[in-house]
Amino acid sequence: MNKAEGVLSRDQFDSANQLDHVYTDKERSELAAQYSATLSTIHQYEVIEGVVISLTAKDVIVSVGYKSDGLIAASEFRDLPDLQPGDKVEVYIEETENAQGQLILSRKKAKLVRAWEKIQHALEYGEILEGVVKRRTKGGLIIEINEIETFLPGSQIDIKPVLDFDIFVGKTIDVAVIKINHTNDNVVVSHKALIEKKLEGQKLEIINNLEKGQILEGYVKNMTKFGAFIDLGGIDGLLHITDIAWNRINHPEDVLSLGQQIRVVVTGFNEDKKRISLGMKQLETHPWDLLPDTIEVGSSVKGRITNIADYGLFLEVIPGIEGLIHISEISWSQYLRNVHEHYKVGDIVEAMVLLLDRKNHKISLGIKQLTGDPWEQDNFLTTYAVGSKQEGIVRNLTHFGAFVELEPGVEGLLHVSGLSWTKRIAHPADVLKLGEKLETIVLGIEKENRRLSLGLKQLEENPWEVCEKIFKIGSTHKGTILEKISDRGASVELVHGIEGHVPIHHLLKADGKEAEVGEELEFQVMKFSKADKKIILSHQVVHTPASEDTAHAKQEIKRKTPPKETKKTTTAASAKPLQGGFEAFADLKEKLGTQQKQKKETHKE
């Protein structure tokens, strides 16, 4: 209480316990305000600057201008071995006053807060931070920045693929913050971004000075089957596989390796200069300048097959110069279809120069010209003389015959009519196969038109010369029914492979049933034509001699009898009835022949 109230406060007494000067309320307020002005205003969870008051082996006392000083463990100042009283340090206010009324400070937390502020600022403004690679982890590296561990992915270490992460451990590295996850305090940094930023400046310089024909240095960044990408220092150019070397290569890795430094020349670029074409072979002497003068049209060369296509072979005459051997120039045979069956890449072959254009860098080659055209050989007519036997391969089958290749470039036509004496062949494929080896005989030759006529049946004697004596009209022979043709009859195979025809109404057997395919029966010759190579047969007349076909046989005999004698013969024959079917006709034919002979002899006398 104050004096007016009759109550004295303790601070109104001096040290001798005597009543001292008595302050009024106004004076007390002024004094309190003056004292408060000497103290700093602090807030919990903030970082402020303090002054070191004193140091002990275990603690450091720091004043922050508050009513009490803070005590901080000496271990938090290990990074400041020369710390002295009066030095200024940043501290973190954990508590302004705890349960014991003490001020709780932390330098370690102050450093962490400041470190996070720097990282956040670096993310926002693109600042570069320095860190130490602490260790390798799955997928990248751990970088410590101001005691905060950050993650550097393997893909962000360098612009080139990095295979060994361990070489970076313990090294100091500059990074840029690219992502912060505040939920789990995770920071992602990148060293690659700094390299790309640096190269961007180089890129602009290269683009501004880029010219066609300019020679640059770079390293192999990546390779594909169609070429290699070359890093020119911030900008990539494509070195196509055809521009790596003058000679043919299958893949860029045959010549180049990743990371290899090479010299290239700018061969072209688009208007915005974002696509740059490069060449490496252009820095070497052109192989056409090295082509010997001895190589000319008509000369022969040896080379290695570098590629095989459906249309021919590519032959390397000298390194960097390839000539095409078209499939039509490989062999005189027109049946060379699959080149892969005869040649393989790497084979050494000899060829003749057919075309040479040094100005336009073109060369055409041929292999068949080394052996010459077989039709122009001096002994061609002797080798393939008419009547000579020749062995060949069936190369093609058509409805009118087969083409037989006797040697590469020489083939003949085997007509369908020349396949068999005895069988009627509808298509050559019925008796021949593609690729079959066949012996034939030369029937005709036209060298001017490059034509050969071949025969197969002519290798054997014509059976029809003998058939006329065997298959006389009225004679009976065993035969096997081969096939039946609707409404026309059946084909029958007789001896010697001869085929005959049986009309449909002559297929009836003795039991009244029609003969079937595969049955072996007796057949009688009703008609024989050597010129048409036809034999008309009947089974019905074998078991029914007096059938209506007796009249047919009679007509056949009349047809072969001279006209003048026919009338007399008919008269004589009509006087005596015919008996015995075809046997009677045969006797009658013999008598008529005798009469005709006697008449001729009388006429001569």
The per-residue pLDDT for 27 is 74
* 380 bridge partner residues: none
How large is the average pLDDT for residues 103-124? 90
**Residue 510: pLDDT above 60?**
yes
The encoded tokens of residue 572 equal: 């004589």
Q: Which of 179, 196, 175 is nearest to 188 (CA)?
A: 179
The encoded tokens of residue 419 equal: 């396949």
The per-residue pLDDT for 144 is 93
Q: DSSP secondary structure string, 154-182?
A: GGGS-SSPP--SGGGTT-EEEEEEEEEET
The overall average pLDDT reported for the chain is 82
Residues belonging to the chain: 605
Displacement of CA 120 from its chain's centroid (Å):
52
The encoded tokens of residue 314 equal: 């590519």
* 180 bridge partner residues: 187
Instruction: Read off the pLDDT of residues 19-43 as tens digits, 9 standing for 90 and up.
Output: 555 678 777 777 767 666 666 677 8
Displacement of CA 42 from its chain's centroid (Å):
76
Taken in order 250, 254, 259, 263, the sign of the CA dihedral is: negative
* Higher per-residue confidence, 51 vs 3: 51
Q: Beta strand pairing status for 476-485 and 520-529?
A: antiparallel
Where do the H-state alpha helices sit in 275-403?
A: 380-383
The per-residue pLDDT for 602 is 42
Instruction: Read off the pLDDT of residues 281-327 as tens digits, 9 standing for 90 and up.
Output: 999 888 888 888 889 998 999 999 999 998 999 999 988 899 999 99
Instruction: Read off the pLDDT of residues 49-84 as tens digits, 9 standing for 90 and up.
Output: 989 999 988 999 998 888 788 899 999 898 888 999
Give the span between the Cα atoms of 287 and 300, in whole angstroms: 19
Tell me the one-letter amino acid at 246.
W
Q: What share of the chain is helix, strand, coil (3-state, %, to 5)?
A: 30, 35, 35
What domains are defined for the chain? 3-35 (no CATH), 47-108 (2.40.50.140), 126-195 (2.40.50.140), 210-283 (2.40.50.140), 287-370 (2.40.50.140), 374-459 (2.40.50.140), 464-544 (2.40.50.140), 559-602 (no CATH)
The encoded tokens of residue 194 equal: 């700094």
* Higher per-residue confidence, 552 vs 343: 343
Q: Is 593 helix (H, G, I), strand (E, B) or coil?
A: helix
Tell me the one-letter amino acid at 103.
L
The encoded tokens of residue 590 equal: 């013999």
How large is the average pLDDT for residues 228-256? 89
DSSP label of 283: G
**Residue 250: pLDDT above 90?**
no
The encoded tokens of residue 44 equal: 């919990």
Q: Which of 345, 355, 335 is nearest to 309 (CA)?
A: 345
Give the span between the Cα atoms of 533 and 462, in whole angstroms: 11
How large is the average pLDDT for residues 498-504? 88
Q: For tokens 């004292």, name the residue.
A: 35
SS (H, E, C) 453-497: EEECHHHCCCCHHHHHHHCCCCCEEEEEEEEEECCCEEEEECHHH
User: 236: Cβ–Cβ under 8 A, 6 or more apart, which residues?
Assistant: 221, 229, 230, 276
The per-residue pLDDT for 563 is 52
Q: Is 14 helix (H, G, I), strand (E, B) or coil?
A: coil
Q: Residue 67 burial by CB count (10 A; 0-12/13-18/19+): exposed, middle or buried? A: middle
Q: Residue 467 burial by CB count (10 A; 0-12/13-18/19+): exposed, middle or buried? A: buried
**Residue 244: pLDDT above 60?**
yes
**Residue 549: pLDDT above 80?**
no
540 contacts 547 by C-beta, under 8 angstroms = yes
Where do the H-state alpha helices sit in 182-338?
A: 192-209
* 261 bridge partner residues: 219
Q: How many CB atoms lie within 10 A of CB 584?
A: 19
Q: DSSP secondary structure string, 495-535?
A: GGG-EEEE-GGG-B-TTSPBP-TT-EEEEEEEEEETTTTEE
106 contacts 91 by C-beta, under 8 angstroms = yes
Where do the H-state alpha helices sit in 179-301?
A: 192-209
The per-residue pLDDT for 199 is 77
Give the span between the Cα atoms of 245 and 282, in whole angstroms: 8
The per-residue pLDDT for 380 is 86
Quote the Cα angle for 223-269-259, to 5°: 25
